[in-house]
């Protein structure tokens, strides 16, 4: 029987889980992050989803967790201790992934940034600008040698637009999609241009500025990830993967 691995990404908005075997990907799920759920409630959800794929969680050899929500980190810690026998790996800046940092104590760097840097480096083996579109939008640079140069954090496109709709009485919430043109001739199109194209222009500018400031490193690949990366990516001028 092949080994089973449970991989968990705990974000501010969603929790994503995947089961892998020695042969590769098996299945995955996504559900909403909720700090008011107990470890028992979370385990009931996980066990039910695993059962749909005829997976026994007791067969999981290793569980790897990357969390940016301290409250949920504690809840999942209780869950693992109570229900699983797997080896638990919590990804932090101290996890030996071949990365190095410009500060003596990198412990404050979020697990999401660590995972993004590692995966980009491992997959492309070159300098990578990684743009992650989630609750926050982050743009980071990892060198071909595994050096973590730094990151920037901006409000995510969804949380920014939601706040706009809440504060502006005359603006109605819309489904986000690519704008058809720069200047809208109705409220919906104007919002799409301002929200989606505006976010894309911001990211484009950051990418170009990073390329210029770190030109001495040589070539870069720009990697997009996150739940709405396709939406922003379709409106970027910079070449991305």
Catalytic positions, please? 112
DSSP the chain: ---EEEEEEE-SSEEEEEEEETTEEEEEEEEE--TTS-HHHHHHHHHHHHHHTT--GGGEEEEEEEES-HHHHHHHHHHHHHH--SEEEE--TTS-SS-B-SSS--TTS-HHHHHHHHHHHHHH-SEEEEEEESSEEEEEEE-TTSBEEEEEEEE-HHHHHHHHHHH-TTPPP------SSSS-SSHHHHHHIIIIIHHHHHHHHHHHHHHHHTGGG--EEEEEESTTHHHHHTT-SS---
């Amino acid at each position: 029987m092949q080994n089973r691995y449970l991989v968990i990404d705990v974000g501010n908005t969603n929790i994503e889980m995947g089961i892998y075997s020695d042969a590769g990907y098996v299945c995955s799920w996504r559900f909403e992050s909720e700090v008011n759920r107990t470890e028992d409630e979370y385990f009931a959800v996980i066990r039910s989803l695993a059962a749909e794929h005829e997976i026994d969680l007791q067969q999981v050899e290793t569980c790897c967790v990357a969390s940016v929500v301290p409250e949920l980190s504690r809840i999942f810690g209780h869950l693992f201790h109570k229900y699983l026998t797997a080896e638990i790996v919590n990804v932090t800046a101290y996890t030996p992934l071949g990365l190095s940092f410009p500060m003596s104590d990198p412990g404050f760097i979020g697990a999401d940034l660590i995972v993004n840097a590692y995966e980009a480096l491992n997959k492309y083996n070159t300098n990578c600008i990684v743009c992650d579109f989630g609750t926050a939008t982050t743009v980071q640079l990892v060198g071909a040698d595994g050096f973590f140069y730094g990151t920037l954090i901006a409000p995510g496109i969804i949380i920014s637009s939601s706040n706009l709709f809440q504060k502006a009485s005359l603006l109605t919430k819309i489904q986000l999609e690519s704008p058809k043109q720069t200047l809208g001739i109705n409220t919906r199109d104007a919002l799409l241009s301002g929200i989606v194209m505006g976010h894309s222009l911001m990211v484009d500018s950051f990418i170009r500025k990073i390329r210029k400031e770190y030109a001495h490193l040589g070539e870069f690949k720009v990697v997009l990830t996150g739940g709405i990366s396709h939406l922003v990516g379709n409106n970027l001028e910079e070449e991305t993967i």
